[in-house]
Structure 1
């Protein structure tokens, strides 16, 4: 991840997946205005595993929502592979998210009535696209889900359900995967397994992942950790370790 000053964001630099250029997001409730992102600029290159951390209210969740096209900035530009998504209407942003962005959430978001295989391929089928069976087989093998494809979510452990969610997010070969507290509902062992898997997906398959987390041990699996406070990027720690991250968060007033 590289912080940038003001720059032309089109076309995208080679290898850049996400670009934010002087992005500000202001939430308004009546006469009250809260600046959730304050003039934030960054780039995320292909094959990066970036963790985003910060105290409560620092802007990390808003950063994910804006970068993923789930929300629009008040000012500034957001690009995905050179496409300025901040200028797209909601219909076109929806198509872009479906085709080029994957999501992994803390709550798995699996449909209980469907099997593992059906959950994985559902977004593709809804988009009218035939699943790439060879690619999905690679993902299933990597995640150790081969023996549970015909089971339903309730028959799986939390760690297995999150692995299903990861395969679903990768099934369309997205440019980038956004993971929002992906291990927040897991025990320590399952959390470690999922984080190891995410790092392997980046290092071995070249996937780009941006992960929001409050957990220094989780962020320590990333290539870089971006630290936020008061809607701004205040630090970027390369090859982070848990103790350094915990100390930096403490210096900012907690998690």
Structure 2
């Protein structure tokens, strides 16, 4: 159950230090409101993936607090963090992460089965029709194009009706036209289904689809750009690379 009035994701002064003293995040604070599409961009090594992993409960911060859907996850053990992820978080990855031996519909409903839940047939039908896979449900991932596989992964991320979906470079493995189609789908899902989406990307054009772009450098948020443009973000990233 969602917590009424709670933001989808909140980070309070989150720091992550890896062995050897590498500081990947340095007191990062942010709030992602519900029904928002937020992109996280920055130079290589800026801390983008670490930010997503900590925000999604895949990793534990060295210090600071993380809330997902109003639930503080930083102090939970792995069993309870896994439970929170299953109930409240969806994931879309660059590599799709579909199970080759399962059909499309089995892949989409896998998070529900892992959580011991029965699929909502009406919601499942809505999802597969919206992502354009109604005629592919019995296929295996290897029988699909890259774009179709990513669409299946998007449906899988949404099937549990999560509070937030985290997308890590969701179009990096796709050709330009297919990438644009997938980005358009993600943008539409925010509006149509009231989904909250946090996308990590190196691509300024992809980030320009978001409502807000957070620019990371050296583990800190150095800029927050509302209604970002590809040209503006590309210039901002170029300036950071030159510093």
TM-score range (shorter-chain normalised) is: over 0.9
Where 2:97 maps in the other structure, the secondary structure is coil
Matched, 1:42 2:42: no
Q: Which residue of 2 aligns with 1:247?
A: 235
Q: Which residue of 2 aligns with 1:94?
A: 82
Offset of 1:15 from its aligned partner? 4.7
Deviations for 1:117-172, whole angstroms, at most 9, x for unmatched residues?
Answer: 11111121121100111111111111111111111111111000000000001000
Root-mean-square deviation (CA, aligned residues, Å) is 1.1
Q: Which residue of 1 aligns with 2:7?
A: 16
Distance in 1 of aligned mates of 2:111 and 2:16: 29
Q: Which residue of 1 aligns with 2:49?
A: 61
Matched, 1:207 2:198: no
Indicate conservation of the 8 Å contact 2:94/2:168, yes or no: yes
Indicate conservation of the 8 Å contact 2:13/2:63, yes or no: yes
Offset of 1:14 from its aligned partner? 2.4
Deviations for 1:189-244, whole angstroms, at most 9, x for unmatched residues?
Answer: 11001000000000111000000000011101111100000000000111111100
Query: Given the alignment, which residue of 150, 155, 178 partners 2:143?
Result: 155
Moved over 4 A (4+): none
Distance in 1 of aligned mates of 2:105 and 2:96: 15
Offset of 1:13 from its aligned partner? 8.5
Task: Provide structure 1 residue ranges, at least 5 long, that are not aligned to the other structure.
Answer: 1-11
Matched, 1:197 2:181: no
Q: Which residue of 2 aligns with 1:179?
A: 167
Distance in 2 of aligned mates of 1:80 and 1:167: 21
Matched, 1:168 2:159: no
Query: Given the alignment, which residue of 216, 219, 241 partners 1:228?
Result: 216
Q: Which residue of 2 aligns with 1:109?
A: 97
Deviations for 1:20-74, whole angstroms, at most 9, x for unmatched residues?
Answer: 001111111xxx2011100111000000000000001111110000000001111
Q: Which residue of 2 aligns with 1:7?
A: none
Q: Which residue of 1 aligns with 2:207?
A: 219
Q: Which residue of 1 aligns with 2:73?
A: 85
Where 2:27 maps in the other structure, the secondary structure is strand
Where 1:185 maps in the other structure, the secondary structure is coil
Distance in 1 of aligned mates of 2:203 and 2:130: 25
Aligned residues between the structures:
240
Distance in 2 of aligned mates of 1:155 and 1:84: 41
Offset of 1:186 from its aligned partner? 0.2
Distance in 1 of aligned mates of 2:165 and 2:114: 19
Q: Which residue of 2 aligns with 1:130?
A: 118
